[in-house]
């Protein structure tokens, strides 16, 4: 196992390097000159050039890349142009919000999605199966921001049960925190629940087709135990492999959801930064997200390796 961990980490390093390079390159494709934007409408050519030199934008691209990477290694992600604050700080302030949203959504997605998928598989081809699959289909077909708007109209404006915007830090109030997140998290989770339910169903159907399920029946194992013990564990393993992807979908969705519910998270920061051509922030944020995923995938691979006896005892 320790060998596996080391191996996975070693594999991830070139990927992270490529992520860094790609992020850097992406931003340099952006049209629009940050120096001009920063200097402002009133600035003359000289002032703009000064800003450019300050930001190091007058250097050749490769030199900029080199500088950026070396800075990264020292933990210096640069300085936000629009916020006038170190990128790392800006991100750190907003991280808890996005993390809260994503984790709550994940906590909703996993049990609900798996539960629905198992029901659909066990009661295959009955009305339960059709109902679950229809629900799942709707989940992956409706645009989450649209549902968000509808949800706000219903639960916030009409019924007044939940806030329509804003984030309450957990340190201020637990219930405040939860109620500010419930709507966004549920709306965010819809797509993933649908995806997970469908995936779990097909994984479980595949498992139920296996010979060892027939062996369990031949031994006289009751249907309930066959499903819960023999089939479920094997299905769960397949689900684990997909949870990284689900997490990435959640973060992707959070970008839009944060906008709608005015949650000051990383997604919102990213969109604002792209509009404002704030290179450092965009680079830093996307890099962070990229690294986060590589890391999450490693963790998930390792969890899977631990859970699957075929990999663990090799």
Residue 204: how many other CB atoms lie within 10 Å: 26
Binding string, residues 113-132; x marks residues near other proteins by CB under 8 A: ------------x-------
Question: Hunting for tokens 């961990």 — which residue is that?
Answer: 5
Question: Hunting for tokens 């075929």 — which residue is that?
Answer: 310
Interface residue with other proteins, options 234, 269, 284, 300 (CB under 8 A): 234
Is the Cβ–Cβ distance between 244 and 297 less than 8 Å?
A: yes
Interface residue with other proteins, options 48, 65, 95, 255 (CB under 8 A): 255
Interface residue with other proteins, options 65, 110, 140, 262 (CB under 8 A): 140
The residues, ordered by sequence, that sit 6+ positions from 249 with a Cβ below 8 Å of its Cβ are 191, 192, 195
**Number of amino acids touching other proteins (CB under 8 A):** 67
The residues, ordered by sequence, that sit 6+ positions from 205 with a Cβ below 8 Å of its Cβ are 121, 124
146 lines the binding site for other proteins (CB under 8 A): yes
The one segment of 57-65, 68-76, 97-105, 247-255 that binds other proteins by CB under 8 A = 247-255
The one segment of 27-35, 105-113, 166-174, 175-183 that binds other proteins by CB under 8 A = 27-35
Q: What is d(CA 254, CA 99) in angstroms, rounded to the nearest whole number? A: 10
Binding string, residues 200-229; x marks residues near other proteins by CB under 8 A: ----------xxx-xxxxxxxxx------x
Q: How far is CA 55 from CA 39, 99, 271, in A?
A: 11, 31, 21
Q: How far is CA 90 from CA 154, 255, 268, in A?
A: 33, 16, 12
Q: What is d(CA 102, CA 110) in angstroms, rounded to the nearest whole number? A: 12
271 lines the binding site for other proteins (CB under 8 A): yes
Residues of this chain that bind other proteins (CB under 8 A):
14-16, 18-19, 22, 26-27, 29-31, 125, 137-138, 140-146, 149-150, 152-153, 157, 210-212, 214-222, 229-230, 233-234, 237, 248-249, 251-253, 255-256, 259, 270-271, 274-275, 282, 286, 289-291, 293-294, 297, 308-310, 313
């Amino acid at each position: 196992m320790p060998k596996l961990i080391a191996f996975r980490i070693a594999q991830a390093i070139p990927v992270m390097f490529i992520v860094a390079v790609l992020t850097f390159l992406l931003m340099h494709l952006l049209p629009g000159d940050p120096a001009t934007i920063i200097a402002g409408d009133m600035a003359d050519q000289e002032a703009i050039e000064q800003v450019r030199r300050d930001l190091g934008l007058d250097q050749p691209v490769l030199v900029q890349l080199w500088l950026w990477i070396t800075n990264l290694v020292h933990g210096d992600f640069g300085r936000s142009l629009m916020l006038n604050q170190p990128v790392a700080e800006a991100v750190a302030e907003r991280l808890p919000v996005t993390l809260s949203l994503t984790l709550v959504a994940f906590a909703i997605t996993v049990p609900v999605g798996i539960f629905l998928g198992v029901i659909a598989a066990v009661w295959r081809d009955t009305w339960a199966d059709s109902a679950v699959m229809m629900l799942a289909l709707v989940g992956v077909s409706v645009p989450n921001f649209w549902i968000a708007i509808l949800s706000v109209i219903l639960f916030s404006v009409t019924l007044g049960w939940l806030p329509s915007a804003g984030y309450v830090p957990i340190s201020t109030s637990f219930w405040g925190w939860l109620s500010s997140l419930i709507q966004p998290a549920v709306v965010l989770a819809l797509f993933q629940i649908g995806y997970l339910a469908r995936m779990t169903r097909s994984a479980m159907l595949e498992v139920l087709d296996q010979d060892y399920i027939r062996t369990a029946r031949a031994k006289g194992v009751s249907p309930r135990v066959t499903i819960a013990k023999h089939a479920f564990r094997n299905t769960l393993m397949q689900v684990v492999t997909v949870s990284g992807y689900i997490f990435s979908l959640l973060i992707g969705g959070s970008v839009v959801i944060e906008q709608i519910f005015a949650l000051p998270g990383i997604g919102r920061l990213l969109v604002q930064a792209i509009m404002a051509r704030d290179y450092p922030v965009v680079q830093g944020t996307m890099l962070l997200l990229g690294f986060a995923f590589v890391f999450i995938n490693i963790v998930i691979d390792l969890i899977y390796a631990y859970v699957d006896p075929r990999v663990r005892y090799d």
